[in-house]
């Protein structure tokens, strides 16, 4: 069994009908990249950079400290792409345990890109560190919680400014692809506009479910209503995947849904070709990929979308 799993690690993730599926890893610290490689990930689909910022008594990592952390992950991945998400603190990820979030409702408050854009100097410190890390291997920048086109424009302006600051200093940096998290229903509904600005998209289904269903993902009292298979959630996920495919741009899922083997067939049927998950989930998802015919799943996926009880259809 051990040997079989080792072999599986080096087996490309290809469906029976020869569709190549990209299986990427989610990491929280640069040191996790080694586990991603060991699990057979073909890149990092989500580096949650906020873990470098949390639990430090509010003292944020400076540019060099961040650069070294991002570079470590990039070098560890040996030429495979590393998708680094800009800091996503707030809501379920407070900067510090003792930190008092003054938002009335932290999930709807100044979190993620909103927090970054509220302090442009801090934001550009992170962007410069990421751009410098990109001199050591392929890096993709990912922005969390975007909902407004005005936020997209502000974000991209800050990236330009960060590059200009590096130029002025004569610092070395590399090219990057730019991507948006689709994790607010508003973003999913205007995905065409998002695709005008970004090279790739990543569906943050954890938050997309929370905001679509108005269920706080951290509130146990309503946990039974947190339903990844709600038809409204599936509709948004399906539409984003389809629009990305139409425009020839990569769409990934990096929420928990991507690592759930019970969801693999449905996501493949909806046209998803890139999944990012905890390293420990990769082999199981790959096993599922290897035994399906993605073409045959497409019609069935449409039926699941139209069903008022998708969970029952998946259980069959």
State the residues that interact with Mg ion by CB under 5 A.
183, 204, 207
Among the listed ranges 28-36, 54-62, 198-206, 278-286, the one in contact with ligand PEP (CB under 6 A) is 198-206
Closer Cβ to ligand PEP, 206 or 250, answer by number: 206
Q: Is 9 annotated as a binding residue?
A: no
Which one from 236, 254, 267, 289 is the annotated catalytic residue? 254
Among the listed ranges 103-111, 168-176, 204-212, 284-292, the one in contact with ligand PEP (CB under 6 A) is 204-212
Q: Cβ distance 45 to 254 under 8 Å? A: yes
Min dist. Cβ of residue 234 to ligand PEP (A)? 15
Q: Is 206 annotated as a binding residue?
A: yes
Among the listed ranges 35-43, 63-71, 164-172, 203-211, the one in contact with ligand PEP (CB under 6 A) is 203-211
Q: Is 207 annotated as a binding residue?
A: yes
Q: Is the dihedral of CA 196, 202, 205, 207 positive or negative?
A: negative
Q: Is 246 annotated as a binding residue?
A: no
Closer Cβ to ligand PEP, 15 or 86, answer by number: 86
Kindly state whether residue 216 participates in binding ligand PEP, applying the rule CB under 6 A: no
Min dist. Cβ of residue 105 to Mg ion (A)? 16
Select the residue interacting with ligand PEP from 32, 207, 260, 288 (CB under 6 A).
207
Q: Is 183 annotated as a binding residue?
A: yes
Among the listed ranges 94-102, 188-196, 199-207, 265-273, the one in contact with ligand PEP (CB under 6 A) is 199-207
Site string for ligand PEP, 253-272 (x = CB under 6 A): -xx-----------------
DSSP letters for the chain: -HHHHHHHHHS--B-TT--B-EEEEEESSGGGHHHHHHTT-SSEEEEEGGGGTTTSTT----HHHHHHHHHHHHHHTTTS-EEEEPP--BTTB-SSTT-----SSGGGSS-THHHHHTSHHHHHHHHHHHHHHGGGS-EEEEE-S---HHHHHHHHHHHHHHHHHHHHHT-----EEEEEEE-SHHHHHTHHHHHHH-SEEEE-HHHHHHHHHT--TT-GGGGGG--TT-HHHHHHHHHHHHHHHHTT-EEEE-SGGGG-HHHHHHHHHTT--EEEE-GGGHHHHHHHHHT--HHHHHHHHHHHHH-S-HHHHHH-
Q: Is 196 annotated as a binding residue?
A: no
Min dist. Cβ of residue 7 to ligand PEP (A)? 30
Query: What's the maximum distance between 2 C-alpha atoms anywhere in the chain?
Result: 61
Site string for ligand PEP, 66-105 (x = CB under 6 A): ----------------------x-----------------
CA–CA separation, 36 and 197 (whole Å)? 29
- Assess whether 76 carries a catalytic annotation: no
For residue 142, what are the CA distances in angstroms to 58, 100, 113, 171, 180?
Answer: 23, 27, 10, 22, 5
Site string for ligand PEP, 21-60 (x = CB under 6 A): -------------------------x-x------------
Binding site listing for phosphoenolpyruvate: 48, 85, 206-207, 217
Which residues bind to ligand PEP, rule: CB under 6 A?
46, 48, 88, 183, 204-207, 254-255
Q: List the catalytic residues.
A: 254
């Amino acid at each position: 069994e051990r040997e079989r799993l080792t072999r599986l690690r080096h087996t490309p993730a290809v469906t029976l009908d020869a569709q190549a599926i990209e299986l990427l890893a989610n990491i929280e610290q640069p040191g996790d990249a080694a586990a991603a490689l060991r699990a057979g990930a073909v890149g990092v689909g989500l580096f949650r950079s906020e873990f470098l910022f949390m639990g430090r008594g509010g003292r944020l990592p400076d540019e060099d400290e961040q650069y070294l952390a991002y570079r470590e992950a990039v070098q560890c991945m040996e030429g495979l792409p590393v998708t680094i998400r800009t800091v996503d603190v707030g809501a379920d990820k407070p900067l510090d345990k003792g930190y008092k979030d003054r938002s009335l409702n932290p999930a709807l408050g100044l979190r993620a890109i909103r927090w970054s854009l509220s302090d442009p100097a801090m934001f550009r410190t992170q962007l410069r560190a990421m751009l410098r890390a990109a001199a050591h291997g392929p890096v993709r920048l990912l922005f969390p919680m975007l909902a407004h086109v005005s936020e997209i424009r502000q974000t991209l302006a800050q990236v330009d400014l960060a590059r200009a600051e590096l130029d002025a200093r004569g610092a070395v940096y590399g090219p990057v692809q730019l991507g948006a998290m689709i994790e607010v229903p508003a973003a999913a509904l205007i995905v065409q506009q998002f695709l005008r600005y970004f090279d790739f998209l990543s569906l943050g289904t954890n938050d997309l479910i929370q905001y679509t269903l108005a269920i706080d993902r951290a509130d146990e009292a309503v946990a039974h209503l947190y339903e990844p298979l709600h038809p409204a959630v599936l509709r948004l996920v399906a539409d984003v995947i389809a629009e990305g495919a139409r425009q020839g741009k990569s769409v990934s899922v990096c929420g928990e849904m991507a690592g759930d083997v019970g969801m693999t067939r449905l996501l493949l049927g909806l046209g998803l070709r890139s999944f990012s998950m905890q390293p420990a989930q990769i082999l199981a998802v790959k096993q599922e990929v290897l035994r399906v015919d993605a073409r045959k799943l497409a019609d069935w996926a449409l039926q699941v979308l139209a069903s008022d009880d998708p969970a029952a259809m998946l259980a069959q």
